[in-house]
Chain A
Amino acid sequence: MSSAVHTIVLAGRSADVWPVAALLERELPPRIKLHVIEDGGIYGPRGATVPLGSGYHTRTGIDCATLLEHCDAALSLGSVLENWRGEGSRFVTAPSGTLPAVGGVALHQLLLKMAAGNADFGQSFAPFRFAARAAEAGKMALPADAPDSPLAMLGPQVSFDRGRYAAMLRARCEGACTISKGRVAAAQINGCGDIGSVTLDSGAKIPGDFFVDCSGDLSDVAGCPEDLRPLQIVPFGQVATIALVADRKPVMPIYRAQEDGLLAITPTASGQLLTFACSTETTEETILQFTSESAVIATVGNGCTDTPWLHNLVRLGTASVQIGSMLSADIVLLQAQSLLLADCLPVRSQMQAEADAFNRKHAETVRGITDFAFAPLYLGAHAGLVWEEVRASPPPHSLQIRIDQFRSRARVPSFERDYADEQTWTELLFGMGLQPSGYDRRADTIPPAHIERVLNTIRQQLDGALARMETRTNFLRRFA
């Protein structure tokens, strides 16, 4: 006999658990009760940058004004990759929709054709990197401001302290769900392998029908298999994180490759957050040199499970995938996991089909995010043992296909549940120095004069749209 799911218990540190709880609270009917077990604040990176108008924010009902008002958030249109192509190099990766094709041929293919033989292809491509240009120019707009214009291609992102973000989400859920503070100390497993209840370190016993572990403690006490398959692409075993009030904070998130590791600088409205990820062999002295005396140092794992949902327990966040914070892959993934979970939620104790569907979609989602976030690690040229080790290991199969296809003909293959658009991928791969040896042969069927005309028209449209865009400062006045 299968019994109905009435209570969902979510456990984890607040930064991990509230993004999941907030979405479920928003979408589930009142007859399904949520019980959130909150254990401390944040472990690991504090700064995060996620898409502003993502499915996650839309479905959770969180708009720009809310984020600005409650999360000390900063808005941007891109992120800076520093030093990835060698010391002093700088590249802006900006989420972007794809430019219209001309005669069925992608615009960058036409540019490649026109630039054939010209070593500095980057220069001819630059004017068409609309979102990146807008990001560099300190402009800001929302795609909804002018859906029939180049603004529609923009992918605004929001940066925040995960602690503030969690507090905002928590406030939305208060009153609608039960909250217990404490650490999960034990789990009571029934004969079928399902969790019936969990006991907190305080001794409180919390029963539930379905359990969501967002940080890993619940999985440990429930005896989940240690099945995180190592991801060679995450070479870092520890992170140091600190929030600083800064007069001169960056206008965009920065991901700086350093000899010893990766420094992520996340702007907020009032300051910046530093996160330095490095190998376990890096000394504390080196770590503090890049952060600050009062930085909190944490050891982190590396890996990914193929079966995050087993029996009536689903593992999310670091409980399922430990991929670090390059391009905020960790929090982007947590939001994506929340959406998948909401779409696959079980109704009764017999939930194998839901688990299978979730696990399959989850693997695709992880692939999309990790491929994008880690492409710079493979394609970068930064010196340092840690980077050389990454480059020496084989990339995931799907990333290898993307690299091969791009190298062969500047083609960007798509996979199910991809994270980034064709344009964003194209810019990143070019930006990381991948030189295609050919291009789409259809480009040669379009007369150069026609291509030139079309490119000029598009360039002018983009220039005009950019000139008309508000500065970020003016944009923020809307919300004052």
Chain B
Amino acid sequence: MTAAGLSRSLGGLGLSITLVESDAIGTVGVGEATLPHIRDFNRIVGIDERDMMSRTAATIKLGIEFRDWGRPGDRYMHPFGTYGETIGPAPFHHYWLKERANGGQTAALGDYSLPIVAGWNGRFEPPSAQEGMLAYNYAFQFDAGLYAAYLADVAQAAGVKRQEGRIVETRRSDAGDIVSVVLDSGQVIEGDLFVDCSGFRALLIEQELQTGFEDWSHWLPCNRAWAVPCAIGAESTPFTRATARDAGWQWRIPLQHRIGNGHVYCERYSTDQGALDVLMGNLEGTPIAEPRQLVFKTGKRRQMWNRNVVAIGLSGGFLEPLESTSIDLIQTGILKLIDLFPTDRCELADVSEYNRLMDLEYGRIRDFLLLHYVANQREGLPFWDDMRHMELPASLAAKMDAFRSRGLTPDYSDGLFLLQSWLSVFIGQNIIPETLDPRVDTMSAGERQAHLERIHSTLLESAEGMEEHLSFIHQYGASFKQSGA
């Protein structure tokens, strides 16, 4: 992904980009759910969406369904879109909450969000509106290995040299910068800038530069996962599912030809075998590969860019896969690197700026992920009880207090998860504000009900007019072509 991004954006500079990859080591091999920003990345590198979908078995993703996260039996969706529209001086959700508090016959909050209504109905069509209640976005659920192969083609066509081999040594200048890496074949590869995409190994950024790791596992303690694909048993929904389990949660990611499944858990609360049993006992179809175990630690590198090394991907950090943020963080890292790409040498001002922006991004995502865990009412289960009672980062505590007390949502404009995302989890996990924006009372109950009804029926009608999800993919010409032929 990094090679494709750099070569397509900066290839014209005459840069020489070499990608070193070791088949013997392989990749982490999971990561199937994405976020809508990936469409921007695809555009930047010149990828035809249809073609990409057909070569990666991609389905459409309109959001993530969360099951059993608040209380057992609860169900909500975090959508890639908005709720309602502006109907008065207060934010939309306050009018909805007011109606609900007054005992009105209001639909669920999700029924005021087009991607949710479409998602529940298994429908999809590309969005036509940029703003207002009909605006939304979408992402993909795909085979990340195939996507990587697709990007490898894009990168190599743009001039990237792919070098198979294992890096066994790193050489540095007197000043401490990395000047070359040595492969097991003895080949020396020199460079001015090194992008460390070596995964959890963090070969350059940590093993060589010892940049340091900010361990966030006291906040996000899940540290293991079992992953297994299975045959499609139910329907291929245009959304990913995350179901809470006793010591973690289970993912379900429907692709065109199979379902990706995994169980993320914390080893302090479950044995490996117990976690595997939970996963295998909750598959909707026959497993089509052996389950694989993954071990990780949540947190991030103290500096994503250190000297002339930029860590992108798992080498930079990992925040667990609950909201499909890893590929997105890779993309963010690439785009910011392009934005700050050095001319002759890495300037301190640019390195600091890169690290400032990445820190901000990681911090906000961490808080958002953590919210899912702490806002639970799954009483009597040690994992969930401990999550509920943990000491929160001050930044998250403030966001939760603001919502709980007065329905104030985080409103930063630069970041992955904005107001609507926070709102979906707050309400979806039963955090109901104690008081509402007083400005809702400038509208009469009748007017309010009329607005809510109008929005609800408009969205329902729009969703009903959409194509069934899989038939859209078929008609779009994006059906999976196994060999990529």
What is A's interface to B at a CB cutoff of 8 Å?
5, 27-29, 31-32, 59, 104, 342-348, 350-354, 356-357, 360-361, 401, 404-405, 407-409, 411, 413-414, 416, 438, 440-442, 444-446
Residues of chain B with a CB closer than 8 A to A440's CB: 339
Residues of chain A with a CB closer than 8 A to B349's CB: 401, 404-405, 407-408
CA distance A338 to B436 in the complex (A): 19
Q: Give the segment of B207-215, B307-315, B399-407 that binds chain A.
A: B399-407
CA distance A97 to B89 in the complex (A): 25
CA distance A352 to B404 in the complex (A): 12
11 more A-B contacts (CB under 8 A) besides A353-B401, A361-B411, A445-B10? A27-B89, A29-B438, A32-B438, A343-B437, A353-B402, A353-B405, A409-B340, A438-B343, A440-B339, A444-B13, A445-B9
| Pairs A–B under 8 Å by Cβ, sample size 18 | A344-B406, A352-B405, A353-B402, A354-B406, A357-B408, A401-B349, A404-B349, A407-B349, A409-B343, A411-B339, A413-B353, A416-B414, A441-B10, A441-B341, A442-B341, A444-B12, A445-B9, A445-B10
The answer to whether B406 and A408 touch across the interface, beta carbons within 8 angstroms, is: no
Residues of chain A with a CB closer than 8 A to B352's CB: 401
Q: Which of A28, A59, A409, A416 contacts B412 (CB 8 A)?
A: A416
The answer to whether B10 and A356 touch across the interface, beta carbons within 8 angstroms, is: no
A347, A360, A405, A411, most chain B CB atoms within 10 A: A347
Q: Which of B323-375 contact A (CB under 8 A)?
A: 338-341, 343, 347, 349-350, 352-353, 356
Residues of chain B with a CB closer than 8 A to A442's CB: 9-10, 338, 341
Residues of chain B with a CB closer than 8 A to A346's CB: 406, 435
The answer to whether B350 and A445 touch across the interface, beta carbons within 8 angstroms, is: no
CA distance A440 to B336 in the complex (A): 12
Q: Which of A353, A404, A407, A441 contacts B343 (CB 8 A)?
A: A441
Residues of chain B with a CB closer than 8 A to A351's CB: 405
Q: Which 10 A/B pairs are nearest by Cβ-Cβ distance?
A: A445-B12, A353-B405, A29-B441, A404-B349, A347-B435, A353-B401, A357-B402, A27-B89, A441-B341, A408-B349
CA distance A408 to B342 in the complex (A): 10
Residues of chain A with a CB closer than 8 A to B438's CB: 5, 28-29, 32, 345, 347
CA distance A16 to B370 in the complex (A): 42
Residues of chain A with a CB closer than 8 A to B441's CB: 29, 31
Q: Which of B417-463 contact A (CB under 8 A)?
A: 435-439, 441-442
Whether A28 contacts B414 in the complex (CB less than 8 A), given A348-B435, A401-B356, comes out as no
Whether A360 contacts B435 in the complex (CB less than 8 A), given A408-B350, A445-B13, comes out as no
Residues of chain B with a CB closer than 8 A to A342's CB: 89, 439
How far does the Cβ of A378 sit from chain B's closest Cβ, in whole Å? 16
CA distance A360 to B350 in the complex (A): 27
CA distance A87 to B442 in the complex (A): 55
In this assembly, does B413 line the interface, its C-beta being within 8 Å of a C-beta of chain A? Answer: yes
The answer to whether A416 and B413 touch across the interface, beta carbons within 8 angstroms, is: yes
In this assembly, does B108 line the interface, its C-beta being within 8 Å of a C-beta of chain A? Answer: no
Residues of chain A with a CB closer than 8 A to B149's CB: none
In this assembly, does B390 line the interface, its C-beta being within 8 Å of a C-beta of chain A? Answer: no
In this assembly, does B107 line the interface, its C-beta being within 8 Å of a C-beta of chain A? Answer: no
What is B's interface to A at a CB cutoff of 8 Å?
9-13, 44, 89, 338-341, 343, 347, 349-350, 352-353, 356, 398, 401-402, 404-406, 408, 411-414, 435-439, 441-442
Give the residue name and chain of the B residue nearest to A347 (CB): B435
CA distance A404 to B348 in the complex (A): 10
Residues of chain A with a CB closer than 8 A to B398's CB: 353, 356-357, 360
Q: Which of B89, B350, B405, B413 contacts A409 (CB 8 A)?
A: B350
How far does the Cβ of A350 sit from chain B's closest Cβ, in whole Å? 8
CA distance A407 to B436 in the complex (A): 46
How far does the Cβ of A441 sit from chain B's closest Cβ, in whole Å? 5
Whether A353 contacts B338 in the complex (CB less than 8 A), given A31-B441, A441-B343, A445-B13, comes out as no
Residues of chain A with a CB closer than 8 A to B353's CB: 401, 404-405, 411, 413
CA distance A416 to B439 in the complex (A): 25
CA distance A438 to B341 in the complex (A): 11
Give the residue name and chain of the B residue nearest to A403 (CB): B349
The answer to whether A27 and B405 touch across the interface, beta carbons within 8 angstroms, is: no
B349, B414, B436, most chain A CB atoms within 10 A: B349
Whether A27 contacts B442 in the complex (CB less than 8 A), given A347-B406, A441-B13, A442-B10, comes out as yes
How far does the Cβ of A37 sit from chain B's closest Cβ, in whole Å? 21
A59, A343, A401, most chain B CB atoms within 10 A: A343
Residues of chain B with a CB closer than 8 A to A31's CB: 441
The answer to whether B442 and A28 touch across the interface, beta carbons within 8 angstroms, is: yes
The answer to whether A354 and B343 touch across the interface, beta carbons within 8 angstroms, is: no
CA distance A416 to B353 in the complex (A): 15
CA distance A408 to B350 in the complex (A): 8
Give the residue name and chain of the A residue nearest to B15 (CB): A441
Residues of chain B with a CB closer than 8 A to A444's CB: 12-13
Give the residue name and chain of the B residue nearest to A407 (CB): B349
Residues of chain A with a CB closer than 8 A to B343's CB: 409, 438, 441
Residues of chain A with a CB closer than 8 A to B414's CB: 414, 416
The answer to whether B11 and A27 touch across the interface, beta carbons within 8 angstroms, is: no
How far does the Cβ of A463 sit from chain B's closest Cβ, in whole Å? 29
CA distance A407 to B350 in the complex (A): 11
Residues of chain B with a CB closer than 8 A to A361's CB: 411
